Structure formats: C-alpha cells, structure tokens
Amino acid sequence: MKRLIKTIRTSRRVAAMFATLWVALLLAGCGINASQPAGSTAGAPTGSAQTAASAPTAKVTDYADPASWAYLETDTSATDSNADVFFICPSVYAGSDDACNMSLADNETKESFIGATNMEKGIYDQDGASGDNRFFAPYYQQIGLNVYEYPEEEREPYLQIAYADVKAAFEYYLDNYNDGRPIILAGFSQGADLCIRLMKDLFADPELQKQLVACYAIGWRVTADEVDAYPQLKMAQGETDTAVIVSFNSEAPGTTESLVVPAGETTLAINPLNWKTDTTPADKSLNKGACFTDYSGAITEEIPQLTGAYIDEERGTLKVPDVSPTDYPAGLSIFEDGVYHLYDYQFFYCNLQDNVADRLDVYLANR
C-alpha cells in the first residue's frame, strides 16, 4: 500500500493527535476486502469516467440493523430543548489497491471510525450536559485516503458507494427515529462532502428544510455555482441564522491551492470567530479556545486565543495567521504544509461548540 503519512515534525502539542492518526491508518490500511452487508446495489452514476464494466459496485448497508450505527442514541430523551445530530465521520480508512471503500466487516477500522467521531462529538453533543442532544452516526463505506490521489472524476464512483450508504442511513433515520424533530447535520472532510450531497439530494423538500437547525460542513468546499443550482444550499450569513450551511477551510496566508480548494476555485465560507462572510479579520482574542482531542473525545489540551482568522478574498478560504506549519504540519501526503485541514475544527472548537448551542436556541425560540 502506498505510504500516505509524511515524515512530520510534530510539536508536543500535536504529538498525541498524530499518534492517533498513525494508529488509525495502520489499522485501516490492511486491504481487507470482505463481503458487504446485504441490501440494494450502489454503483457509479451515469456518465462516470469509469466504464460500466469496470465501475465499482457494493451492497448498500442495512441500517435497520443497529450494528450498522457507530452511534444510535435512541435512549437519550427527546425533549423540547434538544435536537438530533446526524453526524458523518471523516476519513479514517487508508484504502488499498483492491479495496478503495472501507469494509464494514473490518472491526479494527470501525474502532478508528468511532474514535474519529468522538474527537468532534463534543462540539455537537455534550454527553451528560443539560439539554444533551441525541446523536446518530452511521458506519458507511467511506472512500480510502488513497482515492483522493486519483483525478477528481475517477474518485466519483467510489464516492457514490459512500454516499449511497449515507443517504440510506439518513432516510432510515428520518423514517424510524426522527419524528419531526430538529436536525443538526454535521460532517468534516469527506463527511462534509457527503453532508452537502445530502443537502442537494433531499433538502429541497420544504418540510425537511423547516427541521434543519444548521448543516456544519467543515473542511469541504461549497461554490457559488452549487448554491445557484441548488437553492436549498443557503450559506450562513451570521452567528444565529438557521437552515444554513456553516463551512470553512483553514490554511496559511501564503497557501494558494489544496486538494479541497484547488487553485483557481473559490469556496464560500463564514469566519467562525466573528461570524462574518467578508474579509474582516478576526483577532485571536475572539478565539474562545482551540481544543485538541483524543479518540475518547477527551480534550488533551485547550489553548485560548491560539489564532485569529480572516477570509481570503480570492479563494474564499479561511486564512489562519497566528500559527505556523512547523507547529501544525499537514500530516498527510495529499496536503502540502500550510494546509491546516486536519485542524479545521480543533483550532475553533470552543467557538463552534457555542455556536451550535446558539443556533439551536434561536431555532427553538422561533419554532
């Protein structure tokens, strides 16, 4: 398997995070090509770069089986003061030449899947807190990190397999667990991409739009052309608007391209420190706390006022001026140093945590 982890210069602050990443990829990259769970078949869309003969196919996962869920918090009380969080896990599977989508029979990878979910869970769902939200996170046949080394059109058949699972899980959740409750849709990286696909595919429904508190699609791009083509994609314009998408992609001031936002593309974003969509800089004094978490979800280090941020006028990315790539290296060969993708939610953890609560409060007050 092609080695995906760079030799990195880890500071003590991020050593634990990269140790976790090493373990995840070593476990996930074993190339197990197990049979998939029973269900309908998902494959490449019409017009895929792959031919019909070579396009990958897989069974869509059966979400009536509780074992198909990393989190299925049906025992948490559904009240008038909380919401349901539907969370889509980021990439944890390294991939291999003979298995570009994660097998749900691979229990070691599923442990990493739960760990990566736990690292963000506290932003959206604070277990034991008053008004604790219900949390739903399906296992799904996500693409391996190796697939991101392919040209974009060649990734799509594998992403369609991942998305077919996520869509099936969300529809099963709606039909069996939601009961008209408020929804917080959330995902990071690959999970954010799949959140946006769900928004395009299902949220044109006005009734479903009414249930949406917000979609936190962090670490993937959303373009003006997409918003024009799908009116239900409404980007957040402030700190407390609802039924909107909260999105940003962090990078160093000198960075001009990345896998997520290629050179020449412009993404839409909101600054998670001042909640503005223009280029107004937010000083690091507005940063309530960067939090670095482990696979249990525990905060191993919290750093108030770590960095400020501003939105780049040309790229639409979130420029992060007060940290360096030496201290926060990219960590994966699919990113150059200066791309702070791995830290998107960690740099702004406390601000995001408060914002989720604030948007939910406004949503419930106006319902």
Residue 325 included in any domain = yes
* pLDDT of 123 strictly over 90: yes
274 assigned to some structural domain? yes
Establish if 213 belongs to a structural domain.
Answer: yes
DSSP string, 188-243: ETHHHHHHHHHHHHHTTSHHHHHHEEEEEEETS---HHHHHH-TT--B--SSS--S
Residue 137 lies in a domain: yes
d(CA 363, CA 367): 6
Inside any domain, residue 1: no
The whole-number pLDDT of residue 163 equals 98
Per residue in 348-360, pLDDT (tens digit) is: 999 999 999 999 9
pLDDT given for residue 202 in this prediction: 98
pLDDT for res 77: 87
> Is residue 255 included in any domain, yes or no?
yes
**pLDDT tens column, 34-79:** 333 333 334 433 333 343 335 578 899 999 999 999 999 999 888 9
Domain assignment present for residue 6? The answer is no
How is residue 252 written in tokens?
């160093």
Domain limits at 40?
Answer: 12-47+55-366
Q: What digits encode the pLDDT tens for the residues 255-293?
A: 999 999 999 999 999 999 999 999 999 999 999 999 999
Q: Is the pLDDT of residue 249 over 50?
A: yes
pLDDT at 53 (0 to 100): 34
pTM comes to: 0.88
Please indicate, yes or no, if residue 153 is contained in any of the structural domains: yes
Helix (H, G, I), strand (E, B) or coil at 345: coil
What is the spatial distance between Cα 7 and Cα 21, in angstroms, rounded to a whole number?
13
- The tally of domains found in the chain comes to 1
Only one residue has tokens 């997409």, namely 226
Parallel/antiparallel/unpaired status of strands 134-138 and 69-72:
antiparallel
- What is the rounded CA–CA span in Å between residue 352 and residue 267? 20
Integer Cα distance of 129 and 184 in angstroms: 17
